[in-house]
Amino acid sequence: MTSNHSIVFEQDEPSSGQQDLVEINKNVCVEEINAILKEKKDKIATALKVCAHCTLCADSCFLYRSKEQVTEHMPSHKFITSLGVIYKKKGKVTIEELYEMRETLWKRCVLCTRCSCPLGINIPELLAIGRRILRTQGVYHSYSENQPLTEMK
Amino acid sequence: MHNFYYFATGPLAWIAFLVFIGGSIWRFRSLLELARRKDSIVFEYMDTKFALRSIVHWLIPFGSRSMKINPTMTVVTFLFHICLFLTPLFVFGHVILWKENFNISWFTLPNAVADIMTFIVIASCLFFLWRRIKLADVKYLTTPLDFIILFIVAAPFISGFWAYHQFPGFATMTIIHIISGEIMLMAIPFTKLFHMFLFPFTRGYIGSEFGGVRMAKDW
Ligand code: HEM
Ligand code: HEM
Ligand code: SF4
Ligand code: SF4
């Protein structure tokens, strides 16, 4: 099931994805990541601690509902396997891991902020923190660059 | 055996309650401290009205869309939490202990009701266990700790029922019961069970964001 879906993502992604991969910056700056982890530790630690792993958030994500309800689209799964992993490894992640998380944080979530958790975990906020961390390492999609709108083609 | 009984109901019980209360206060304080030092915008977001509005909606059965989508889970989880919370507070065997030790007492549940409520908790735990083993999504998120916690929660109910009905070996089971209850109390501050205290805050925070910033419902 997993491999099946990664194929779908590659098809979703036009040639620009290849271009990103060529420009991989091999070094991860742990300090930069940790600065953000520290700032948001209250939220990250609370969410990871409180999440009951109950999967009730799954049905609130339209991507989960439309993509044949694959596990990878569960909101909780998205933050646990991205920001959660970065946090548990104290920022010591490899660039390859970050690229994998990029797929989760951009391709599997549009930050529509509609997902809901009965315990009140603010999942989109966590996913946004994840995106922020990846951006500091130059890992993001070209359509999501940090440049003024006017400069975008 | 008798000595051990006195140890479990005496010093160990004190330790359990101290760890439970002290640990919870400590966890709370360190979280608040973190938020204040690094992420103080949290406090500016908080809005009592929107927070309460969200909390109330999520405490009413079928008060949120999520609960309507998952009716089985909603029914089980509400029954589970209500019984989990009320049974230990009002079961006769417990109130007697408070009476003997501190000379305070309150309403007790009729035995049949206590039995049914105990049974509901055990059955719900079995249902959660089933979900964790059988449903692909739940299985995917489940960690070994989830099973351990489920066991920690179910154990006092199974052993309490056993001891109360004086099934074979009930003397040992009573001690196991007391210790398992104490383990559960001590586990609360340090595991996901801490959600019982954090719920109003996590819920209140997202409720405030939806109400105050996005002008939308969050249920
Ligand atoms: C918070 C965790 C605990 C839970 C959930 C719990 C739950 C229960 C339940 C469900 C029963 C039997 C009710 C019935 O079927 O009628 C029971 C009985 C009892 N519990 Fe607990 N209990 C806990 C902690 C404790 C502790 C810490 C002690 C002692 C210090 C204790 C002492 C007793 C006693 C003495 C009985 C009566 C057993 C008998 O009559 O032989 N419990 N409890
Ligand atoms: C008082 C406020 C509480 C609230 C609002 C609350 C809310 C929730 C919610 C929303 C879930 C996720 C849905 C589910 O799996 O049922 C959950 C799960 C759970 N809660 Fe609570 N809870 C509270 C207290 C407690 C207490 C006091 C305990 C036990 C010490 C507890 C034990 C559990 C367990 C074991 C689960 C996970 C069930 C599973 O494995 O799927 N809860 N709770
Ligand atoms: S609904 Fe909330 S507690 Fe349950 S798995 Fe999703 S994020 Fe975790
Ligand atoms: S914010 Fe992301 S995870 Fe949440 S519902 Fe939208 S797409 Fe799904």
pLDDT of residue A152: 43
Domain limits for position A62: 41-140
Closest residue to A76, CB basis, from B141, B195, B207: B141
Phi-psi region of A122 (alpha: psi -120 to 50; beta: other; left: phi over 0): beta
Query: Using a CB cutoff of 8 Å and minimum separation of 24, what contacts does B208-217 make?
Result: B208/B45, B208/B46, B208/B47, B208/B50, B208/B51, B208/B54, B209/A122, B209/B45, B210/B50, B210/B54, B211/B47, B211/B49, B211/B50, B211/B53, B211/B54, B212/B45, B212/B47, B212/B50, B213/B45, B214/A113, B217/B57
Tokens of B186: 């001590």
User: Residues B127, B132, B133, B134: is their CA dihedral positive or negative?
Assistant: positive
**Is A19 in contact with A145 (CB distance < 8 Å)?**
no
Q: In chain B, which residues have their Cβ closer than 8 Å to the Cβ of A76?
A: 141
A47 assigned to some structural domain: yes
A130 assigned to some structural domain: yes
A109 assigned to some structural domain: yes
pLDDT reading at B215 higher than 90: no
Mean pLDDT of the region B93-107: 89
C-alpha distance from A39 to closest chain B C-alpha (Å): 5
**Domain count within chain A:** 1
Closest residue to B137, CB basis, from A47, A71, A119: A71
Residues 6+ apart with CB under 8 A from A18: none
Residue among B192, B217, B177 nearest B64 (CA): B217
How far, in Å, from the CA of A63 to the mean position of ligand 4? 7
pLDDT band of residue B157 (cuts 50, 70, 90) is very high
A8 assigned to some structural domain: no
pLDDT tens per residue, range B23-34: 999 988 888 888
pLDDT of residue A70: 79
pLDDT tens per residue, range B158-189: 999 999 988 888 888 999 999 999 999 999 99
pLDDT reading at B192 higher than 70: yes
Q: In chain A, which residues have their Cβ closer than 8 Å to the Cβ of B51?
A: none
d(CA B191, CA A55): 18
User: A70 to chain B: nearest residue by CA?
Assistant: B137
Residues 6+ apart with CB under 8 A from A24: A95, A99
Name all residues whose Cβ lies below 6 A of ligand 3.
A 51-57, 76, 117-119, 121, 123
* DSSP codes, A15-51: THHHHHHHT------HHHHHHHHHHTHHHHHHHHHH-
How confident is chain A (153 residues) per 10-residue block, as mean pLDDT?
34 44 63 85 88 89 81 89 90 86 88 86 91 86 60 43
Tokens of B12: 């160990």
pLDDT reading at B199 higher than 50: yes
A117 assigned to some structural domain: yes
Tokens of A36: 């953000």
Please give the ipTM for the structure prediction. Answer: 0.81
pLDDT of residue B152: 96
| Residue having the nearest C-alpha atom to atom 28 of ligand 1 | B178
3-state helix, strand, coil in chain B (%, to 5): 85, 0, 15
A116 assigned to some structural domain: yes
Q: How far is CA B57 from CA A67, B63, B217, in A?
A: 29, 5, 10
**Is A130 in contact with A84 (CB distance < 8 Å)?**
no
d(CA B196, CA B85): 10
pLDDT of residue A153: 40
Q: Residue A78: how many CA atoms within 13 Å on its side-chain side?
A: 31
**Of A88-97, B35-44, B68-77, B147-156, which range is least confident?**
B35-44
How far, in Å, from the CA of A145 to the mean position of ligand 4? 20
Closest residue to A118, CB basis, from B35, B66, B191: B66
Tokens of B17: 């309650």
A45 assigned to some structural domain: yes
How far, in Å, from the CA of B90 to the mean position of ligand 1? 10
d(CA B201, CA B175): 36
pTM for the whole structure? 0.84
Atom of ligand 2 nearest to the CA of A53: 41
**Domains (range + CATH), chain B:** 2-214 (1.20.950.20)
A70 assigned to some structural domain: yes
* DSSP codes, B86-99: HHHHH-HHHHHHHH
End-to-end CA distance of chain A: 36
Q: What percentage of chain B reaches a pLDDT higher than 90?
A: 47
Q: Which residue has the higher pLDDT, B90 or A8?
A: B90
